[in-house]
């Protein structure tokens, strides 16, 4: 199998490391295989791919969709990000717990986040190109979010020595208790 699947401490979250093959010309690797992912227990029906580009200190999140929750397979194509998933599944033993993974273009590691989680990341390199495979379509009227620095969640974001750069919308997201 050209992937190593590593389950995280919160049920459903998986970090994936593809096997890379490189020489003086560059590298090659499979970045997704329906068969291999299904064998590893990720039988997600991916329907949409998204990509973003951001500079150092840009923080995007913590986002989710309310009635059309999306599972996401995320990775940094270039650069490096500190990626976070927060468990918002009602009745979950790990509700409001978070898990982070450093995603890096050099390693091409991936993070699978099933439906029911809020997701966000901050760019730690000078620039990052970030890709998402999603299990449901994006519905603008279904957006939800939690403020990135909610003390009830307590995410330990990396100290970059600069203020994070957030969209106006993300600056106004409510706390966990408000959703």
Task: Report the catalytic residues.
Answer: 63, 132
Pseudo-torsion of CA 132, 107, 20, 22, nearest 10°?
Answer: 120
Torsion of CA 159, 162, 163, 166, to 10 degrees: -90
Q: Which residues contact 70 (CB under 8 A, 6 or more apart)?
A: 64, 115, 134, 135, 136, 138
Q: Indicate the helix (H) or strand (E) that contains 168.
A: helix 168-171
Cα–Cα distance for residue pair 6/127, rounded to 1 Å = 27
CA 126 to chain centre: 19
Distance CA 87, CA 96 (A): 5
């Amino acid at each position: 199998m050209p992937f190593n699947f590593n389950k995280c401490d919160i049920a459903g979250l998986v970090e994936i490391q593809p096997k890379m093959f490189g020489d003086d010309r560059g590298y090659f690797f499979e970045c997704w295989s329906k068969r291999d992912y299904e064998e590893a227990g990720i039988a997600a029906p991916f329907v949409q791919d998204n990509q973003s580009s951001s500079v150092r200190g840009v923080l995007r999140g913590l986002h989710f969709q309310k009635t059309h929750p999306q599972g996401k397979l995320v990775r940094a194509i270039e650069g490096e990000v500190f990626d976070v998933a927060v468990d918002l599944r009602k009745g979950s033993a790990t509700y409001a717990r978070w898990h982070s993974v450093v995603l890096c273009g050099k390693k091409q590691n991936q993070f699978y986040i099933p439906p029911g989680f809020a997701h966000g990341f901050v760019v730690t390199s000078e620039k990052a190109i970030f890709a998402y495979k999603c299990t449901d379509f994006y519905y603008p009227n279904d957006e939800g979010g939690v403020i990135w620095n909610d003390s009830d969640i307590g995410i330990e974001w990396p100290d970059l020595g600069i203020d994070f750069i957030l969209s106006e919308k993300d600056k106004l997201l409510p706390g966990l208790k408000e959703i």
